[in-house]
Structure 1
């Protein structure tokens, strides 16, 4: 909590702590050469670390400003075709980062706009991995209103990426495809996509993974597995997976732990474990306090509504009182 408060208090100080010297204009001054895409890519990766501890409401303006500044730089720069395409790929990555922050703070229209811009940029840059990821992001938003359409887009995202693409990127797109299928109720397709993600991640690869997908690991796939089985109303499969992985999940990543715990609470309810569900819901409320993200409370809302049916249970009564006081 102290670290989140410190970073939120001064994003300028946070960027300095991340080793970001100056603005993009200062970094790029006199350096629009072959090394500039790498410099900007490293800068983008460092800024991404803020998302580990802060919500989109805190990071969006910073990510959006970086994207707009890079866009102006790319527009005015005179470079070779190769360097130009690399800069467009960095710009596509920054658009996705800003889009994610917009989504996290609840501005879905802005997120979609940024994801579509990213798709166009990645296509021009001939970056199949970023093309696929932009589609996966679009599917993630589409799930909220049209799961069947989201499945189509998620399938397209996996078709867009080469078999030789980085394993973490392929794993990420497959697990997001699994999520779309799970929300749409397609159990066998979701299971097949999860298997594809695990197989991709277990491949040996010597080359570095792109920072935007390097966070995908066995823990992340276990979380997605538990989430999928919860959506598919299979609590006996979901609960053991989610219990295990959340025990080892650091509270520093409060938004993500709170969000993922919602699916555990939901699975407990499906299994008839009302007291356990209430205990997890209470922890979600504690973890998400002060986090500038709408998603944990949105995901917890139906859990709390179901718990209302068991107000006579002391643990339930306590968490409902806790929720009403926030």
Structure 2
């Protein structure tokens, strides 16, 4: 059995990790005092730019393609954090950047289906954010941990992770970050079947996002868009057994130019969910057309999550082989 596909922490252990982070991140970060090459602010700015480039590459490349580069970036930052000397301000920036590098590595391992390693990187990210005294980057890591947890583990654990993030940053972060956490809470609640709680969180996400962009938004918050919120709302409606509402949200996301935002892999994932919504509404031709579009796009991205959903769609469409569109899709995806 390949144990890389299993979570290494869940339940009370996972909640304890989040609680420990919440307590630790409030402490003042310690300046680095190890002997070594001095890291000045200009070098730190270049490292932060490299991290920003990596984030944007993550929007369009699969985990398997980007993972080697992301891992090397993490190792570089980890070495610098272990050896470099810098003042407390640069130290804070370095550990924040290290936390974000670990978060990206965690997500890329998750996208590649390597869940144990993904969780290890997420936990490392939380530790680095606590060292930096940066609750926002840690809250974003909990946001991504929640995705993994409601996908592979207990959805209530995912809700608890997002609640910890919200409790720590809601009063001090920007509306855009609050919108992200509300939307993630709504998505996690949909996995538990909590319709009312899910609806409240998405209403709050839309209200927060409507407050607009702020100069102090974290650099990773660019991914929080109206389209992203509506896509999450649509996915939640689908899991709650309301495919018609799901299609309404998916259409709203497309109208918000989600596909033009450069998030190729996520756009592909949502295409597969749109196909599923059509299928659940009995529109087999539309389901096949959308699934075929997703299949063609995935041939260039090769991401594990859309591939898994497309495999499930094949199984669901197989009983309808008498329909020509189904036969063509099954042949194409064989």
TM-score scaled to structure 2, two decimals? Answer: 0.83
Q: Does the C-alpha gap of structure 1 residues 130 and 46 become closer, same or farther in structure 2, counting only changes over 3 Å?
A: same
1:199 to 195, 200, 207: 207
Secondary structure of the 2:220 match is coil
Secondary structure of the 2:116 match is helix
Matched, 1:86 2:103: no
- CA RMSD across the alignment: 2.0
1:284 to 294, 297, 312: 294
Deviation at 1:91, TM superposition (A): 0.6
Aligned equivalent of 2:197: 189
State the alpha-carbon separation in 2 of the partners of residues 138 and 298 from structure 1.
20
Aligned equivalent of 1:63: 70
Asked if the contact 1:105/1:292 (under 8 Å) is kept, the reply is no
Give the gaps of 5 or more residues in structure 1.
Answer: 1-28
Asked if the contact 2:37/2:83 (under 8 Å) is kept, the reply is no
Over residues 198-246 of structure 1, what are the superposed CA-to-partner deviations in whole Å (9 max), with x where a residue is unaligned?
A: 1221224541422211121111111111111111111121112213434
Deviation at 1:54, TM superposition (A): 1.0
Give the gaps of 5 or more residues in structure 2.
Answer: 1-35
Asked if the contact 2:238/2:277 (under 8 Å) is kept, the reply is yes
TM-score scaled to structure 1, two decimals? Answer: 0.85
State the alpha-carbon separation in 2 of the partners of residues 169 and 206 from structure 1.
10
Matched, 1:46 2:56: no
State the alpha-carbon separation in 1 of the partners of residues 301 and 214 from structure 2.
37
Secondary structure of the 2:221 match is coil
Q: Does the C-alpha gap of structure 1 residues 251 and 78 become closer, same or farther in structure 2, counting only changes over 3 Å?
A: closer
Aligned equivalent of 2:140: 133
Deviation at 1:250, TM superposition (A): 4.0
Asked if the contact 1:118/1:134 (under 8 Å) is kept, the reply is yes
State the alpha-carbon separation in 2 of the partners of residues 251 and 172 from structure 1.
16
Matched, 1:258 2:268: yes
Give the 5 Å matches for 1:191-270. Answer: 191-204=199-212, 206-246=214-254, 248=257, 249-250=259-260, 253-270=263-280
Deviation at 1:57, TM superposition (A): 0.6
Deviation at 1:30, TM superposition (A): 6.9
Deviation at 1:35, TM superposition (A): 3.7
Aligned equivalent of 2:153: 145
State the alpha-carbon separation in 1 of the partners of residues 123 and 157 from structure 2.
16
Deviation at 1:251, TM superposition (A): 9.9
